[in-house]
């Protein structure tokens, strides 16, 4: 018995030693870098990553960790790994709203060393936003995302430009029995609701957190915007169930031809062109409605790469990032997966324009895109707004009361944050 055990121990130690020795002597080992991306991005960049590894054989090897599908779960995973300090991840693909939080905690590293003004100019203006914190770049954009209004070309000549027109056209089509619903959007209590609201709010001339760090949620324009969203439900232009809709639910109704309008992100376009869609070739894309003398707004939601502070191979990581976000790579991602590019040049690319008739619309929407408030406590502010909006949409609270209480709670959050900092 004992001899057997001793034998096992000896073999085990020998194995350990030999693997260490092999590890030390192998000087040609490439630099290992690891990137965490949400599952859909990990899948779509698979070929590009393979190509990158091929080109840098023996020098750099990039591995992609396939994160969860749902956006916020990726954030949970990243945060858990960063809290522990010694994260195995070098590159993180992050959403636009996470940036201030991660930059403030010092989890991600500024990109000054690698990015110059020339590089920044190569990016389309809308996508230049949301990459910096306190005037330093922390993120390099891979794909732009903007809120769009999808409309049915077979039911109307032109899409509505104002909130009133949207309701009017919807009602007419509903009365004629051509569609069951007028407009589907994201009314569930989650981040999507804040995105929807920002567009409507700006469309009515309001603002959430303005440039001088003042909240403007209790102003007339904000209450008007809230009222309009509520009216969509009470007038039955939107189904009551919209208050539990996220993107898939809205898309599902629009795809079956049950609705005249839908608010969604660019990814929906490709879904609507699939053979299973009953509205294939019947859909147009435009920007969100806005009151008569206001300019329309598209909420900016984009993804980009950041390098973690603790990474030991930042140069290699940057090399991988610039490869994955190159014009060639973005073009491939657009043609294959419909990812909106961020490089300005690509919006004039003939091959891409031929492939997709909505590219000019995307460019237009990007020019009017607005990021959500850029502060490390954004998640709290958004949570407060979502709660109050959800209470209004489900008929629990009067719009004015809800917006005043959102204003007060937001101010309190900001105040306690400011007090702690000083």
Partner 1 sequence: MIFLFAPAALFLILVFVLPLIRYCWISVHALSVITNLEMIPNYGANWIRLYNDQRFWQDSFQTIRFTVTSVSLEILFAIAIALLLDQRWRGRGVVRALTILPWALPTTVMALGWRWIFNTPHGPIEQIISLLGFESINILSNPNIAWIATVIGDVWKTTPFIALILLAGLQSIPNDLYEAFRLEGGSSRQALFNITIPLLKQYLLIGILFRTAQAFGVFDLIQIMTGGGPASSTESLALYAYLNAMRFLDFGYSATIMLGSFILLVFSCLLAWLIFNQIKKIQL
The site for partner 1 (CB under 8 A) is made up of 72, 75-76, 79, 83, 101, 104-106, 187-190, 239-244, 249, 252-253, 376-377, 379-380, 383, 386-387, 390-391, 393-394, 396-397, 417, 420-421
The token pair at 376 is: 């490390």
What b/e sequence results for 336-357 when a residue is b if at least 16 CB atoms lie within 10 Å of its CB, and e otherwise? eebbbbbbbebbebeebeeebe
42 vs 92: CA distance, rounded Å: 11
Strand partners, 300: 146
Nearer to partner 1, 224 or 397 (CB): 397
Nearer to partner 1, 52 or 98 (CB): 98
Question: How many C-beta atoms surround the C-beta of residue 38 within 10 A?
Answer: 21
Closest approach of partner 1 to the CB of residue 126, in Å: 26
DSSP three-state, residue 142: strand
Nearer to partner 1, 115 or 232 (CB): 232
The packing angle between helices 399-421 and 378-393, to 10°, is 170
Dump strand ranges (E) for 114-227: 132-133, 136-137, 140-143, 148-152, 181-184
Nearer to partner 1, 56 or 394 (CB): 394
The token pair at 59 is: 């020098």
Closest approach of partner 1 to the CB of residue 150, in Å: 19
72 vs 208: CA distance, rounded Å: 22
Closest approach of partner 1 to the CB of residue 302, in Å: 19
Closest approach of partner 1 to the CB of residue 178, in Å: 17
Half-sphere exposure of 319 (CA within 13 A, CB side): 16
Nearer to partner 1, 248 or 360 (CB): 248
Closest approach of partner 1 to the CB of residue 104, in Å: 6
Contact predicate 325/143, CB 8 Å: no
Contact predicate 76/38, CB 8 Å: no
Nearer to partner 1, 243 or 286 (CB): 243
Closest approach of partner 1 to the CB of residue 417, in Å: 5
Q: Both ends of the chain: CA-CA distance in Å?
A: 68
Closest approach of partner 1 to the CB of residue 101, in Å: 6
Contact predicate 239/186, CB 8 Å: no
Nearer to partner 1, 72 or 315 (CB): 72
Closest approach of partner 1 to the CB of residue 10, in Å: 29
DSSP three-state, residue 386: helix
Nearer to partner 1, 139 or 202 (CB): 139
């Amino acid at each position: 018995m004992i001899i057997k055990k001793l034998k096992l121990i000896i073999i085990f130690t020998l194995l350990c030693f030999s693997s260490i020795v092999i590890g030390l002597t192998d000087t040609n080992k490439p630099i290992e870098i690891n990137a965490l991306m949400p599952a859909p991005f990990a899948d779509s960049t698979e070929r590009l990553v393979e190509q990158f590894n091929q080109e840098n054989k023996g020098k750099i090897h990039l591995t992609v960790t396939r994160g969860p599908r749902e956006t916020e779960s990726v954030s949970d995973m990243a945060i858990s790994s960063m809290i522990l300090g010694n994260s195995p991840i070098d590159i993180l693909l992050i959403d636009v709203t996470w940036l201030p939080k991660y930059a403030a905690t010092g989890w991600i590293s500024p990109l000054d060393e690698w990015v110059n003004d020339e590089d920044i100019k190569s990016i389309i203006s809308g996508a230049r936003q949301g990459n910096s914190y306190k005037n330093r770049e922390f993120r390099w954009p891979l794909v732009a995302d903007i809120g769009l209004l999808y409309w049915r070309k077979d039911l109307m000549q032109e899409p509505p430009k104002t909130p009133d027109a949207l309701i009017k056209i919807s009602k007419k089509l509903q009365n004629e029995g051509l569609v069951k619903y007028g407009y589907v959007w994201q009314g569930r209590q989650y981040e999507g609701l804040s995105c929807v609201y920002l567009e409507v709010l700006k469309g009515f001339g309001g603002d959430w957190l303005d440039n001088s760090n003042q909240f403007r949620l209790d102003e007339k324009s904000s209450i008007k915007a809230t009222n309009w969203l509520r009216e969509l439900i009470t007038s039955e232009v939107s189904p009551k169930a919209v208050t539990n809709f996220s993107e898939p639910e809205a898309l599902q109704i629009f795809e079956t031809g049950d609705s005249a309008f839908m608010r969604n992100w660019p990814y929906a376009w490709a879904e609507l062109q699939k053979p299973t869609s009953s509205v294939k070739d019947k859909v147009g894309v435009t920007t969100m409605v806005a009151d008569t003398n206001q300019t329309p707004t598209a909420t900016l939601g984009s993804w980009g790469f950041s390098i973690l502070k603790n990474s030991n191979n930042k140069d290699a990581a940057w090399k991988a990032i610039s490869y994955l976000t190159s014009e060639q790579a973005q073009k491939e991602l657009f043609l294959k997966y419909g990812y909106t590019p961020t490089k300005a040049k690509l919006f004039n690319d003939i091959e891409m324009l031929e492939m997709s008739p909505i590219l000019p619309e995307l460019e237009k929407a990007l020019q009017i895109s607005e990021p959500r408030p850029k502060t490390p406590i954004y998640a709290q502010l958004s949570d407060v707004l979502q709660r109050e909006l959800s209470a209004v949409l489900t008929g629990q609270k009067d719009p004015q009361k809800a917006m005043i209480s959102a204003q007060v709670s937001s101010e309190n959050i900001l105040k306690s944050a400011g007090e702690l900092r000083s």
